[in-house]
């Protein structure tokens, strides 16, 4: 540790004002503070500070994503060999998935961090930790056979338009990872609707139907039998990291236990979806109406969205009461979009983005009621 510290101290003057590499000072700072918590002490206000910081907070979200990531890699391989009708071992599946997934992750982080570093450099800001999470979320919501150039464009769009134009981490209105996803969905509808949901079946090697997702089939107006076990475990085609409700549940439990993710949002999103699903079940009529309410929770990206996307503290509602409303409406809207607008099967994505935009309004009303309470005291 001492050697590392000494090396950094030796290099540091180059990056300080007047040094040759001053233009890279934000980048240097970023790496230095990653390795060492700075020796900054309190100057004014409270003399002592909590041990938590944003690095830890963000890193814990990445930790929570590990089950989804590992399972997702394996499932990419599993779906591939399943579609080809070949036997494959756990290692085969994992290896195939790794080969498919790793390039996407690398592209996402390289492009995203590159832009982030450049922005911080120009603005003279310290490097923010936000993209640690976004960079992992983006690959997990993409199909396994997506072209890497699309990953790059989507990531760039998400970081620049989704975040940096608003002022960087903490200032954005939309969830950056979802911004990337919806950008691809809208800008490249043909590519995204193709046979990229199961890896390695392009070119008609296999019957196209086997590459379709549950939501895709339902959207086409056909009856889909959801195998509850497979959907819950995640043994179905879909985006890399979001097929397994079980893995999302693990991540969610971890986030709630560590206090990093909002249990209010997760719970209210689930309750909202269940409630709306039950109402539609009572109405009944077509296959989509009749889909049992609980199955809404395990198909598509619902679980992943509820746990990892809706809970992004920056784009979500920020008041505790607002979080309940925000989450519940995401749940309700997800089911509504899925059922009433089958052209957009990914209801959760649009529901969250829509509620991201509405979150400040929700908070505004919550706060207005607080103001009203305060004013009514004067009259009383």
Partner 1 sequence: MQPFAKRISAMSKVIKIKKGKDINLAGVAEKNVAPRTVSSTIAIKPTDFRNLVPKLVVKAGDEVKAGDALFYDKNNPEVMFTSPVSGEVAEVVRGDRRAVLEVRVLADSETSYKKFDVSNASNTKEVLLESGLWPCIVERPFGVVANPSATPKAIHVSCFDTSPLAADISFTLSKEGDAFRKGVEVLKSLTSGKVHLNVDANGQNQDVFTQTPGAVVTQFAGPHPAGLAGVQIHHIDPINKGDVVWTISPQHVVFIGRLFTNGQLDLTETIAVAGSDIKKPQYVETMVGTNVEVLLKDNVSGDNSRIISGNVLTGTSIGANGYLGFFDNVVSAIPEGDEYEFMGWLFPSYARPTISNSMPISKYLKKNFVVNTNFHGEERAFVVSGEYEKVLPMDIYPVHLLKSILAQDLETMENLGIYEVIPEDMALCEFVCTSKIEVQKILGDGLTLMAEEG
Could you give the dihedral angle defined by the CA atoms of residues 167, 354, 299 and 101, in that order, rounded to the nearest 10 degrees?
Answer: -20
- Going from the C-alpha of 367 to that of each of 363, 371, 379, the distances in angstroms are 6, 6, 19
End-to-end CA distance of the chain: 64
Segment contacting partner 1 (CB under 8 A): 30-38, 194-202, 232-240, 267-275?
30-38
Is the distance from CB of 216 to CB of 343 less than 8 angstroms? no
| Structure tokens given for 25 | 């000072």
The nearest distance, CB 18 to partner 1, in angstroms, is 22
Contact indicator for 139, 151 with CB cutoff of 8 Å? yes
Alpha-carbon gap, residue 46 to 328, rounded angstroms: 37
Q: What residues from 246 to 305 belong to the interface with partner 1 (CB under 8 A)?
A: 257-260, 262
Applying CB under 8 A, which of residues 18, 44, 285, 343 lies at the interface with partner 1? 44
Nearest residue (CB) to partner 1, 79 versus 311: 311
Q: Measured from the CB of residue 348, what is the shortest distance to partner 1 in angstroms?
A: 21
CB of 50 to partner 1, least distance (A): 5
Q: Choose, by CB under 8 A, the member of 148, 320, 361, 365 that binds partner 1.
A: 320
Among 212, 316, 332, 339, binds partner 1 (CB under 8 A): 316
Q: Among residues 128 and 155, whose Cβ is nearest to partner 1?
A: 128
- Provide the Cα torsion 88, 93, 95, 98; round to 10°: 160
DSSP string, 93-137: HHHHHHHHHHHHHHHHHHHHHHHHHHHHHHHTPPPPSHHHHHHHH
Phi and psi for 8 in degrees, rounded to 5? -60, -45
CB count in 10 Å sphere of residue 133: 22
The yes or no reply on residue 47 touching partner 1 (CB under 8 A) is yes
Q: Which stretch binds partner 1 (CB under 8 A): 97-105, 167-175, 187-195, 222-230?
A: 167-175
| List 6, 31, 53, 340, residue binding partner 1 (CB under 8 A) | 53
14 binds partner 1 (CB under 8 A): no
Phi-psi region of 206 (alpha: psi -120 to 50; beta: other; left: phi over 0): beta
Residue 10 near partner 1 by CB under 8 A: no
CB nearer to partner 1: give 190 or 378: 378
Report the nearest approach of partner 1 to the CB of residue 173 (Å).
13
Q: Does residue 54 touch partner 1 according to CB under 8 A?
A: yes
Query: Nearest approach, Cβ of 138 to partner 1 (angstroms)?
Result: 19
Task: Candidates 51, 204, 284, 285: give the one binding partner 1 (CB under 8 A).
Answer: 51
120 close to 126: Cβ distance less than 8 angstroms: yes
Interacting residue ranges for partner 1, rule: CB under 8 A? 1, 4-5, 33, 35-42, 44-57, 59-60, 126, 128-130, 167-171, 257-260, 262, 313-314, 316-320, 323, 363, 367, 370-371, 373-375, 377-378
């Amino acid at each position: 540790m001492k050697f590392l510290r000494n090396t950094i101290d030796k290099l540091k003057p180059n990056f300080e004002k007047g040094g040759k590499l001053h233009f890279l000072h934000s980048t240097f700072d970023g790496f230095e503070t990653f390795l060492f918590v700075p020796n900054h002490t309190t100057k004014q206000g409270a003399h002592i500070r909590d041990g938590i910081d944003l690095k830890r907070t963000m890193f814990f979200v990445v930790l929570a994503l590990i089950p989804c990531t590992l399972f997702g890699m394996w499932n990419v391989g599993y779906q591939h060999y399943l579609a080809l009708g070949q036997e494959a071992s756990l290692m085969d599946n994992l290896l195939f998935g790794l080969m498919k997934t790793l390039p996407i992750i690398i592209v996402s982080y390289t492009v995203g961090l590159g832009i982030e570093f450049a922005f911080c450099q120009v603005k003279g800001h310290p490097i923010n930790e936000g993209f640690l999470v976004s960079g992992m979320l983006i690959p997990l919501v993409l199909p396994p056979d997506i072209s890497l150039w699309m990953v790059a464009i989507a990531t760039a769009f998400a970081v620049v338009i989704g975040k940096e134009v608003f002022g960087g981490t903490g200032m954005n209105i939309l969830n950056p990872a979802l911004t990337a996803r919806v950008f691809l969905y809208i800008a490249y509808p043909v590519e995204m609707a193709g046979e990229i949901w199961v890896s390695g079946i392009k070119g008609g090697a296999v019957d196209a139907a086997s590459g379709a997702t549950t939501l895709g089939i339902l959207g086409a107006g056909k009856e889909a039998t959801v195998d509850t076990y497979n959907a819950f475990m995640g043994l179905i085609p879909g985006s890399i990291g979001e097929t397994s409700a079980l893995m999302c549940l693990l991540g969610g439990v971890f986030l709630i236990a560590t206090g990093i993710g909002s249990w209010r949002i997760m719970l209210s999103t689930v309750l909202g979806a269940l409630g709306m699903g039950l109402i539609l079940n009572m109405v009944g009529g077509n296959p989509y109406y009749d889909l049992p309410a609980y199955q809404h929770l395990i198909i598509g990206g619902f679980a992943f969205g509820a746990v990892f996307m809706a809970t992004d503290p920056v784009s979500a509602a920020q008041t505790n009461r607002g979080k309940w409303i925000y989450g519940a409406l995401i749940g309700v809207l997800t089911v509504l979009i899925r059922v009433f607008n089958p052209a957009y099967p990914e209801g959760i994505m649009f529901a969250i983005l829509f509620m991201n935009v509405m979150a400040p309004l929700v908070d505004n009303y919550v706060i207005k009621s607080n103001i009203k309470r305060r004013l009514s005291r004067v009259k009383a």
